[in-house]
Structure 1
Amino acid sequence: MSKFGLYGKINAVEGERDKLVEILLDAAKSMEQLDDCELYVVSISDSDPDGVFVYEVWNNEEAHQASLSLDVTQTLIERAKPIMAGMDRISTLIPMGGKGVVTQ
C-alpha cells in the first residue's frame, strides 16, 4: 500500500495568520500520538501574509480519513473555522521516501 501525502494551503482571515498557525501547531502536536501520521509540517511564506501551508504524510489514505473524525481533530477544526478564509488542496501526493518518511 502506498503512503499518502497532502500539501495544502489554508488562508486566514486578514490579520489572523498567527492564530491559525497556533491552532495548526496544536494539530501537529496531536498527530504525534498517531503512529500512522509520519509527518505534519506547518509553514508560512514571507510573501503571503495570510497563507499557512501544511504538508502531511500518512501510512495510507484511510489513516488520514480516520484522523478527521477524531474528537481532537474536530475540536481543532471548530477553533480554526472562524478565522479561515478558505482552503486549497495544492496536491495529493504519493511520498516515495526521504528524511522523515519511513518506507517499507
Structure 2
Amino acid sequence: MTHLDSTDGLARRAVLAGGLGLAAVAAPSLTQAKEDKPQMDKTMYGLIGQMKAAPGKRDELVAILAESTEGMPGCLSYIVAKDAADADALWITEVWTDKDSHAASLKLPAVQVAIAKARPIIAGFGHRFETAPVGGVGLG
C-alpha cells in the first residue's frame, strides 16, 4: 500500500500499506538511484493512501513503516505523513518508476517483515488513489 485490501493493502504500504500501503512512516524516505530515474517513454506509477492505526499506535506504525523503505528498486519517493485531523491516521504517498517496480517491492524481505510487524496494529484503510505522476521535485 492494494492498500485497501487486507493483505495487498498492508504490503503497499510497504504498505500504505503500504498498504499504504508497507508498508512501511515518521522519517520519509527517498530512494533515488541513477538507474531508478523515470524514463520519458515510461509511465510512472503513484499511490496515495490512508492507513489507520489502532488507537494510540500511530507512532509505532510510523516506526515500522519507516524501517522498510530503504533499498526498494524503482522507488522514487515514499513519504509517510501523519494526518493532521485524525490522531490514528497516516497518509502514504509513493512514486515508482512503473507499476511493476511497486509490485516487486511487495516481495522484498524487508517489506514482508514490515507487513508482518504492522498487521496487528493496523485498524484499517481509508482512501486510496492510483496516480500517473508526470513531474515534480525529485522526480527528474
- Structure 1: 5+ residue stretches without partners: none
Say if 2:54 is the partner of 1:16: no
Q: Percent identity?
A: 35
Partner SS, residue 48 of structure 1: coil
State the SS of the aligned residue for 1:18: helix
Offset, 1:45: 1.9
Mapping of residues 1-104 of structure 1, within 5 Å: 1-28=42-69, 30=70, 33-102=71-140
What is the aligned length? Answer: 99
How many Å apart are 1:88 and its aligned residue?
Answer: 3.3
Whether contact under 8 Å (1:7, 1:55) holds in the other structure is: yes
Q: TM-score, normalised by structure 2?
A: 0.67
Corresponding residue of 2:22: none
TM-score by length of 1: 0.89
**Higher RCO, Cα 8 Å, sep 6+:** 1
Structure 2, gaps ≥5 residues long: 1-41
- CA RMSD in angstroms comes to 1.1
Structure 1's consecutive aligned runs of 4 or more residues displaced over 3 angstroms after TM superposition are none
Q: Which has the higher helix share?
A: 1
Maintained 8 Å contact 1:6/1:89: no
